[in-house]
């Protein structure tokens, strides 16, 4: 009789807070917190205007100290985390890099810390907040489209900040078929079902292509000078950031400052899942940053990535099966992932590298810079990502390591 170990239960997405129609997105996020938390909502809904008028910090100082104990469930906690994280980013960066703060006031810091502890998330804005839990459909029965989506809470940056978060969300939506097919690949490898693996890999390849196509909408909906000059600082953290070398004290939580990385595409679980599935290995410096970014994901999503990595190797399966079609579809998947990473480099170049070069040029010319949006960007971020990485070097290294997944031709 087969033992339990030799005949494990089929791998499924069930335990990982991943839905078959929304992927990693929080399904139907709440739009309101219980009435007790109205003071939070009143401020959070007006962050862009309050930053513009330099009044956000003073409004937060007047906010009552509210206990998080009345938040009843995951969706209420996720909305609270989104609201408190957006307020925190606005509070810290209201005056740009020239007048940062050393302390987050206790009426914001204490509930933010407790909500974060409940969720297993850090007390800073993450991809899980700004993208995965920050959306509503205007028509609930309508499609995931720019026309039918709206943010729940926003930051300074107008239409471009809306575009940035929602295009990123559409990339997540485009990945849903790929995520659904990961268990099909794993179970197919386990039982040697080559046909099932081939079909699933074809579906994943198409889904990754759709992700690349969705990412192209950044050029339509986001102005590079607004992203670089206004939005980007509000995504920045207080780790590896020269603007806040000591980190941030969360008043009422602990007396020593804490350091957290800002928002990063590396906090999306998608590419982590694909890398583990396809057997893509990253060098030590890249993998240490990527592994650290997993601490900024909902714990169930982080666990999914870990559990995919523990499954029988797809790459070894492809090498062992003498099947040209299987090898071809595996290579197609790797090629699509490589193309996505290449395109991401193109986007980062347009939205960060080019504006950074223009800003340096304008500073050298010592012109009147007030009318140039790009020059409002913090100098500290010119060569770094908001997550704290040396961004272009990191992206190119990760891209190059993806190429190593191709299986060499054998004679």
Annotation: binding site for heme b: 344
Biggest alpha carbon–alpha carbon distance for the chain? 81
Pairing of strands 149-150, 136-137: antiparallel
Q: Which residues pair with 384 in a beta bridge?
A: 390
Cα 373 to Cα 227, 288, 357, distances in angstroms = 9, 34, 14
Q: What is the DSSP string of 189-228?
A: HHHT-HHHHHHHHHHHHHHHHHHHHHHTTHHHH--HHHII
Region for 290 from its dihedrals, namely left if φ exceeds 0, alpha if ψ lies in -120 to 50, beta otherwise: alpha
* Pairwise CA distance, residues 260 & 46, whole Å: 25
CB atoms under 10 Å from CB of 41, counted, come to 18
Q: Which residues pair with 19 in a beta bridge?
A: 23
Q: Which residues pair with 137 in a beta bridge?
A: 149
Q: Where do the DSSP E strands lie in 64-147?
A: 103-104, 136-137
* Pairwise CA distance, residues 270 & 245, whole Å: 31
Give me 411's structure tokens.
Answer: 């004679």
Selection from 34, 75, 9, 301 nearest residue 175 by Cα: 301
Selection from 266, 269, 325 nearest residue 290 by Cα: 266
Give me 396's structure tokens.
Answer: 């190119």
Selection from 257, 283, 247, 253 nearest residue 388 by Cα: 247
Region for 136 from its dihedrals, namely left if φ exceeds 0, alpha if ψ lies in -120 to 50, beta otherwise: beta
* Pairwise CA distance, residues 173 & 192, whole Å: 30
* Pairwise CA distance, residues 309 & 379, whole Å: 39
* Pairwise CA distance, residues 64 & 110, whole Å: 12
Region for 267 from its dihedrals, namely left if φ exceeds 0, alpha if ψ lies in -120 to 50, beta otherwise: alpha
Binding residue positions:
344
């Amino acid at each position: 009789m087969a033992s339990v170990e030799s005949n494990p239960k089929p791998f499924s997405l069930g335990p990982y807070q991943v839905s078959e129609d929304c992927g990693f997105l929080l399904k139907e996020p709440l739009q309101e917190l219980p009435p007790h938390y109205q003071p939070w909502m009143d401020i959070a809904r007006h962050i862009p205007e309050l930053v513009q008028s330099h009044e956000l910090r003073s409004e937060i100082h007047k906010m009552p100290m509210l206990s998080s104990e009345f938040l009843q469930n995951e969706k209420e906690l996720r909305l609270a985390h989104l609201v408190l994280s957006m307020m925190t980013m606005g509070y810290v960066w209201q005056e740009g890099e020239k007048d940062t703060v050393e302390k987050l006031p206790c009426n914001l810091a204490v509930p933010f810390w407790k909500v974060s502890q409940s969720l297993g998330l850090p007390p800073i804005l993450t991809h899980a907040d700004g993208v995965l839990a920050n959306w509503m459909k205007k028509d609930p029965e309508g499609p995931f489209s720019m026309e039918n989506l709206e943010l729940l809470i926003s930051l300074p940056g107008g239409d471009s900040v809306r575009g940035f978060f929602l295009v990123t969300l559409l990339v997540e939506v485009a990945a849903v078929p790929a995520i659904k097919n990961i268990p099909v690949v794993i179970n197919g490898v386990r039982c040697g079902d080559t046909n099932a693996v081939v079909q699933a890999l074809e579906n994943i390849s198409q889904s990754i292509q759709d992700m690349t196509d969705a990412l192209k909408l950044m050029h339509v909906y986001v102005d590079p000078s607004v992203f670089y000059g206004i939005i980007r600082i509000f995504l920045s953290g207080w780790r590896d950031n020269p603007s806040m070398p000591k980190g941030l004290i969360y008043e009422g939580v602990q007396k020593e400052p804490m350091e957290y990385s800002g928002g990063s595409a590396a906090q999306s679980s998608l590419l982590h899942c694909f890398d583990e599935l396809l057997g893509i290995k990253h060098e030590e410096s890249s993998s240490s940053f990527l592994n650290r970014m997993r601490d900024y994901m909902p714990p169930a999503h982080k666990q999914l990535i870990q559990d995919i990595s523990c499954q029988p190797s797809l790459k070894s399966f492809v090498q062992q099966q003498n099947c040209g079609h299987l090898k071809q579809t595996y290579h197609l998947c790797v090629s699509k992932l490589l193309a996505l990473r290449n395109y991401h480099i193109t986007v980062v170049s347009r939205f960060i590298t080019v504006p950074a070069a223009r800003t340096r040029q304008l500073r050298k010319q010592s012109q009147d810079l007030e009318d140039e949006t790009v020059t409002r960007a913090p100098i500290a971020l010119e060569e770094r990502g908001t997550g704290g990485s040396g961004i272009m070097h990191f992206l190119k290294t990760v891209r190059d390591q993806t190429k190593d997944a191709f299986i060499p031709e054998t004679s």
